[in-house]
Chains A and B, each alone.
Chain A
Amino acid sequence: MATSSGELSPESHFDKWEIQLRKGCLELAILGCLWPARLYGLEILRRLESDSDLVLSAGTVYPLLSRLKAEGLLKSEWVEADAGHPRKYYQLTPRGRSRAVEMAKMWARFSTNMKGLLSPVLKEGGK
């Protein structure tokens, strides 16, 4: 998708920008998933797909959960499930909950400001 001068085409640039945007909010999305209840890895993946439009591979999410746990934001426990095998459930630690609140507030503030800035663009661009 690069042009002959080596620059990215507008479509590639847009795709790259969208990927970067999604990457930036992945940690917040996971903390948000786990806010109401504990979940295991596959449930987190499905929740991200259905509620945030973030379609991720398991190979991305499991190491990320491991990192968040190592940073003390999550804790985990093995629970015997009806499925016939145990599942590793993750839940937020108090530190994870306060990080989630901080990040969510920042996100909301940023999003509100951007909405104000972009409303004329959306108004005129939507015509």
Chain B
Amino acid sequence: MIASTRREPRIESYLARLRVALRGLPDREIDDIVRELRSHVDDLAGKEGAGVEAALQSLGDPLDLAQTYRSENQMLRAQCSGSPLTILQGLRHATRGTLQRVTVTALYVLGYFGMGTLWAGALEKLLAPSRGGLWYTPGDFWSTTLVVGGNPPAGARELLGWWLVPIALLVGWGVKYASDRIAQWWIARYRRAKASQEV
């Protein structure tokens, strides 16, 4: 009975669809999931005599099931990762609706944009010391500009001097660190909320 359920085409077709939909997870993990679900179907259809159809129905749609595994895996990886791409993937699963997804992603990208600008400012100061820097027109506080790839405004005075380099590098790194931590906090919060809604 059990040997026959293993070769049952409906089971093979279900597991093949699941395997394809799980793509993106580590191969070892995919093998483990498929093996466990095959064992479940074998037990339910064979030992408990529920029938193949009922056994597969208890697992639900293979695409939905794979999505559940993938989103959980990607959120978990994002929580432990320092890679912005992994964190972005995690954020994609940790948002509800397009508006929230776009907003959260844009804020995260903005953090990296801020880091990039500060680091580019530091590099500009090193490569073109006479142009690069933080410039300020006396009497106009709002004119303070970090010059990257251009000329300072006429009559402007430079602030910070060479101190700009370590400060911009440090603040840029701080912005990146804060963006990552906030994104990971968001993902953890989403996962906790989701965990109480399982069933």
Interface residues of A (CB under 8 A from B): 19, 22-24, 26-27, 40-42, 56-60, 62-64, 66-67, 70-71, 78, 83-88
A-B contact pairs, 28 of them (CB 8 A): A23-B197, A23-B198, A23-B199, A26-B198, A26-B199, A41-B40, A42-B43, A57-B58, A58-B37, A58-B40, A58-B59, A59-B59, A59-B64, A59-B68, A60-B198, A62-B33, A62-B59, A64-B198, A66-B72, A70-B73, A71-B76, A78-B35, A83-B46, A84-B2, A85-B6, A85-B39, A87-B43, A88-B32
Chain B: interface residue count, which band? 20 to 34
What is the CA–CA distance of A60 and B58 in the complex, to the nearest angstrom? 9
Q: Does B44 contact A (CB under 8 A)?
A: yes
Within 8 Å by CB of B199, from A56, A58, A66, A84, lies A56
CB distance from A78 to the nearest CB of B (A): 8
Contacts of A67 on B, CB cut-off 8 Å? 72, 76, 195
The minimal Cβ–Cβ distance linking B192 to chain A, given in whole angstroms, is 11
Q: Are A62 and B196 within 8 A (Cβ)?
A: no
B42 contacts chain A at the CB level, 8 A cutoff = yes
Specify which chain B residues have a CB less than 8 angstroms from the CB of A84 in the assembled complex: 2-3
Q: How far is the CB of B36 from chain A (nearest CB, A)?
A: 5
* A16 vs B191: C-alpha distance when bound (angstroms): 21
Whether A22 lies near B40 (C-beta < 8 A) is: no
Report Cα–Cα, A66/B68, bound state, in Å: 10
Is B60 at the interface (CB under 8 A from chain A)?
yes
6 closest A-B pairs by beta carbon, nearest first, are A59-B60, A58-B58, A63-B68, A88-B36, A59-B59, A84-B2
- Nearest A residue to B72 via CB reads A67
Contacts of B33 in A (CB 8 A): 62, 66
B80 to chain A, nearest CB (A): 10
Judge whether B69 is part of the interface by a CB distance below 8 angstroms: yes
Give the CA-CA distance A41 to B196 in the complex, in Å. Answer: 20
Question: 0/1 per residue, B22-45, Cβ < 8 Å to A?
Answer: 000000000011011111101110
Instruction: Report Cα–Cα, A62/B48, bound state, in Å.
Output: 18
Contacts of B65 in A (CB 8 A): 59, 62-63
Q: Does B47 contact A (CB under 8 A)?
A: yes
The smallest beta-carbon distance between A50 and chain B, in angstroms, is 14
| Closest residue of A by beta carbon distance from B42 | A85
Q: Apart from A58-B40, A83-B47, what are 4 other A-B pairs with CB-CB below 8 Å?
A: A22-B199, A57-B60, A58-B44, A85-B6
In the bound complex, residues from chain A placing their C-beta under 8 Å from that of B58 are 57-59
Please give me the residue from chain A that is nearest to B3 by CB atom.
Answer: A84
